[in-house]
Amino acid sequence: MHFDPNTGEKIMDPGDEVQATAENTANQAQENAANAAAQVQADAAQANNAAAQTAAAQAQAAQAQAPQFQQAPQFQQVPPNTNNVKKGMPIGAVIGIVVAVVAIIAVIAVLAMRGLGAKVSLLNTITTAYDGEFLTDATKNLSYKPFSDMTVKVEMEMDDVEVLMSLASEASSHTRSVYSEITYDGFTIDATAYIDEKQILASCPVLGDYLFKYDYSNDKNSGYIADILDEEDLDVADLNAMIAFLNDNSGSIEKFYDKSVAYFTDCVASLDFKKTGNKETFTVNGNKVECKEYQVVITEETLEAWITGYQKIVEDFVESNSDLVETMEEISGEELDIEDIFEDLIDEVEDAEDVKLSIFTKGKVTAAIRLINEDDDQYFEVQLKGGDYLAQNVEVIYNDDGDEQTILTVSGKTKGDTQTTTIETEDESFSFEYSFNRKSGEFEMTMEQWGSEVYACEATLTFDKNSYTMEFEKLSSYGYEIDFDKYIITVSNKAEIVKPKGEEFDLGNADEDDFQDLAEDIMDELMDNDDLQELMEELDLDDLLYYL
């Protein structure tokens, strides 16, 4: 497949296969696995200082849309051997630039898929930039999204150790579970944790046949736990409210997330790109293509309006959870002042330079995206040079008053069923290479900094509509190869909840004597477990139980 330089239309070469749409990156599979695992406890992660941290992060994201280019960013990163380093921008600056530009592309892609009208349709070609990228094709049917059903399984074997872990989340019932199992030299220890909209359950058979239960839907829990809370000037109702919030029983965190994404998407959609009358020539698929420029100016007033609008969303979220916020303020000893937080953000963007965002297109092809400072003497530019797909070869350029410098390149090639992509900085401080075979699923990746390996892996990726699997054959970090016999990560969009079993022990209503008896029973159970004793001796930890 290639692009006609005059019309921008795709032309299919003999033997080309039908290509799918959707943007992806070299480490898409690993990121999805990490994100999926995080989703099982996403509510808790988002809830820690939720209002303050989320407000700051999102509003700063808006501010980042208008970077000031008075000078190239400087970072205190020193290469191991400065005598061999070519002149170029710092790696930190490069990564920041690429992240900013990719974020812009991603937002535009979201807008295009939402179909927000003719004003945005000019930019819809961004969504096809990865048409024909094999890894993108393989992942196009994955249906994962935040706050959806998900199960992540990790299986690993290393020497005499076997590890199994399963994290699951069922969105509709707000039910989540974590099951872990470790086997060493034939002896197995397992544990299960579970939460739904009413209770928390946990079990660990090595501690005894107990099912530890806490009913957080009942504010009448009056056991020893109430005495402990009272010493902290809290009551059972406060604890229960926090658990319900962290589990997002009311869906307030999910709604806040959806509103935040929709708000900033609409902010970008409101940008009105206009023809400038300017035309510039770029190289796509080895051909010179004359492109029209479409531009929008992002002003200080625009950013302040975005921040102010988002302040209302955050304030509504805090107000709807005011009792919980007050409790968290009492625990932390700090007052959450949303107004002050946003005033500080607005102060940060005061007197900021206007930034111009330009898109250069020819027909259905977008050849370049450019961020320009107010004086038109500095800009960052992403040039999409094409190949088997538009973004297979890319250059990121920094131009300072006519002094043009390529700071990062993406080079791709296709050989049969294998595509290889290399990303590297001009000063050779950073390189990233990955390859993927769409038929066999073989995936290889290497990341280096200043010529030294940072991370490398070899794996086989298997995809279907409801799940994907990464089976690692080789994994190394900083030149050290991790020795394992088996390492498999499976991500599924089905919730495989594990519910613990055992003899119930009511944590909410047990008194101090009950807890003392429990501790003695657990210690007896551990001391009478011959298999555990042998394992502890083998690990040279046999004295540990006596200290306990």
Q: What is the pLDDT of residues 221-235, one digit of tens each?
A: 999 999 998 888 889
Q: What is the pTM of this model?
A: 0.74
SS3 83: helix
How many structural domains does the chain have?
2
Q: Which amino acid is at 395?
A: E
Length of the chain: 548
Residue 3 lies in a domain: no
Q: Same domain for 524 and 392? A: no
Q: Distance between CA 469 and CA 491 in Å, rounded?
A: 6
Whether 72 is covered by a domain: the verdict is yes
Last residue of a domain, one of 450, 478, 506: 478
Residue 49 placed within a domain: yes
Q: Are 30 and 470 in contact (CB under 8 A)?
A: yes
Q: Is residue 517 part of a domain?
A: yes
Same domain, 445 and 537: no
For residues 312 and 367, membership in a common domain is answered with: yes
Q: Which of 478, 507, 533 is the last residue of a domain?
A: 478
pLDDT at 443: 97
Q: Are residues 364 and 506 in the same domain?
A: no
Other residues' Cβ atoms within 10 Å of the Cβ of residue 519: 11
Q: Considering the domain boundaries, does residue 316 fall inside one? A: yes
Residues 296, 273: Cα–Cα separation, whole Å: 5
Query: What 8-state DSSP symbol labels residue 460?
Result: E
Q: 164 and 125 in one domain?
A: no
**Can you give the pLDDT at residue 547?**
53
Q: Is 8 left (phi over 0), alpha (psi -120 to 50) or beta?
A: left
Rounded Cα–Cα distance for residues 414 and 326 (Å): 58
Q: Is residue 9 part of a domain?
A: no
394 in helix, strand or coil?
Answer: strand
Together in a domain, 173 and 273: no
Residues 38 and 132 reside in one and the same domain? yes
| C-alpha to C-alpha distance for 471 and 458, rounded to whole angstroms | 9
Residue among 335, 337, 332 at smallest CA distance from 242: 332
Considering the domain architecture, whether residues 339 and 429 belong to the same structural domain is answered as: yes
The Cα–Cα gap between 371 and 415 comes to 34
- Does the residue 483 lie in any domain? no
Instruction: Out of 478, 508, 524, pick the residue that ends a domain.
Output: 478
464 with 513, same domain: the answer is: no
The stretches in the chain having pLDDT less than 50 are: 1-102, 104-123, 125
Would residue 173 count as lying in a domain?
yes
Residues 289 and 337 in one domain: yes
Same-domain check for residues 227 and 321: no
- Helices and strands counted in the chain (H then E): 15, 23
Instruction: Determine the residue type at 502.
Output: G
Give Dmax (Cα) for the chain. Answer: 84
Residues 158 and 301 in one domain: no
Contact status, residue 321 vs residue 46, Cβ threshold 8 Å: no
Element holding 344 (H helix, E strand) = helix 338-349
What residues make up the domain containing 196?
150-247+497-547
Phi-psi region of 363 (alpha: psi -120 to 50; beta: other; left: phi over 0): left
Residue 539: per-residue pLDDT: 67
DSSP letter, residue 177: E
Distance CA 372, CA 376 (A): 6
